[in-house]
């Protein structure tokens, strides 16, 4: 389970580009009224449904960088306050590494490695569940890292270069513009190359006492979140983070640290079952794959663990009450409702109309001095 705080930022960002909250939240099951409740929790799948909408609506390869560039540390709640009061960059990095997933909703882990005396690599590893939204989560985290580094040090953090594992997009220049350094695509890993980094230098705004208070409260919140999370939510979150292929129930219970019989009883007490949770997850992923990723029926079925296309089609009918073709036709009609009157359909109009807004400096990876 993740806190809803990042989704609130997404809605604000997209609203500034002219997109209604309903379009950003479509298909996620998130009520707009929940965005102002700090204690609201969402599943990884709900979060990814929102990201899929953002990618589709913006239709700009670098949208993840732009969203991350607009991030403000205070939007990260208590984690953000901890970052602002961190005595050193090392303290800030350690706090982020421990709590960014649970308390912020970040699906990319970060590791800083000292390669030579003057060269550091900030390495990024994406959560398996984030693969459905392509490069968005990775790009967003890279921009957030530069943003945080610049804000806590009170000077623009300029990387030597950025190395990315995925191939170059059509407009690679947008990446170089936003990062402010050479960007190399098709590399073996994802990392920022930094020079002459002193992570133990005292930060001007560092306050060890305040940082300690924030750190302890983060630990408390993370523990409270884990303790009070329903088993239904734990199973959903675990399955979302891994392949939705059918797996042995006993293996799942082992991975969650609970006996199979006990887990079955607890799920039943919450009015559900493993098979129902798995079906719900597959249904949500099927929609993402078929509508947003535009995969074929055969490829979608394969990714969801169905060896036979007909078996997947029968399952899809049972989930949605519609055939794949009927569902696609209805969903496309819904998407067309979000287009601007007089404009052409979203997938064609947004690259031109919204890219102009993005190009006008709505966001920038590094704050101005």
Query: How do 119-126 and 191-195 pair as beta strands?
Result: antiparallel
Structural domains in the chain, sorted by start: 62-223 (no CATH), 230-321 (1.10.10.60)
pLDDT tens, position by position, 262-321? 888 888 877 788 888 888 778 877 877 787 667 889 988 888 888 889 999 999 999 888
Question: Which pLDDT score, from 0 to 100, does residue 94 have?
Answer: 95
Question: Which pLDDT score, from 0 to 100, does residue 364 have?
Answer: 36
Q: Tokens 């609203």 belong to which residue? A: 15
Low-confidence ranges of the chain (pLDDT < 50): 338-369
Question: Which pLDDT score, from 0 to 100, does residue 348 have?
Answer: 26
Question: Which pLDDT score, from 0 to 100, does residue 229 have?
Answer: 61
E strand map for the chain: 2-3, 41-42, 108-116, 119-126, 161-163, 182-184, 191-195
Q: Tokens 């732009």 belong to which residue? A: 66
Structure tokens given for 163: 């190395």
Question: Which pLDDT score, from 0 to 100, does residue 207 have?
Answer: 92
pLDDT tens, position by position, 5-51? 889 999 999 999 999 999 999 888 888 888 887 667 787 778 888 99
Q: What is the pTM of this model?
A: 0.67
């Amino acid at each position: 389970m993740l806190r809803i705080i990042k989704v609130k930022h997404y809605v604000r960002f997209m609203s500034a580009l002219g997109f209604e909250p309903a379009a950003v939240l479509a298909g996620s099951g998130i009520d707009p009224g929940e965005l102002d409740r700090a204690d609201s929790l969402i599943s990884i799948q709900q979060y990814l449904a929102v990201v899929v909408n953002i990618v589709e609506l913006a239709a700009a390869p670098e949208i993840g960088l732009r969203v991350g560039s607009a991030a403000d540390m205070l939007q990260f709640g208590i984690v953000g306050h901890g970052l602002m009061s961190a005595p050193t960059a090392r303290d800030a990095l350690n706090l982020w590494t421990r709590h960014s997933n649970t308390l912020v909703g970040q699906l990319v882990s970060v590791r800083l490695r000292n390669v030579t005396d003057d060269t550091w690599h900030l390495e990024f590893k994406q959560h398996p569940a984030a693969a459905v939204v392509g490069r968005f989560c990775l790009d967003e985290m890279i921009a957030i890292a530069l943003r945080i580094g610049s804000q806590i040090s009170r000077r623009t953090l300029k990387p030597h270069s950025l190395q990315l594992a995925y191939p170059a997009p059509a407009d690679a220049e947008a990446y170089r513009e936003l990062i402010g350094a050479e960007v190399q695509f098709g590399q073996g890993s994802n990392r920022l190359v930094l020079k002459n980094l002193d992570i133990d230098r005292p930060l001007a705004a560092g306050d060890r006492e305040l940082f300690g208070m924030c750190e302890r409260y983060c630990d408390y919140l993370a523990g409270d979140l884990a303790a009070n999370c329903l088993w239904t939510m734990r199973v959903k979150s675990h399955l979302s983070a891994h392949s939705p292929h059918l797996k042995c129930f006993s293996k799942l219970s082992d991975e969650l640290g609970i006996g199979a019989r006990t887990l079955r009883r607890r799920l039943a007490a919450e009015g559900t079952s493993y098979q129902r949770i798995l079906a719900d997850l597959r249904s949500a992923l099927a929609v993402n794959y078929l509508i947003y990723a535009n995969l074929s029926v055969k490829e979608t079925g394969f990714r969801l663990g169905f060896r036979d296309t007909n078996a997947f089609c029968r399952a899809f009918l049972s989930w949605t009450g519609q055939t794949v073709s009927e569902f696609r036709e209805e969903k496309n009609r819904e998407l067309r409702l979000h287009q601007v009157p007089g404009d052409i359909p979203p997938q064609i109009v947004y690259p031109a109309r919204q890219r102009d807004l993005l190009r006008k400096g709505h966001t920038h990876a590094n704050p101005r001095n």
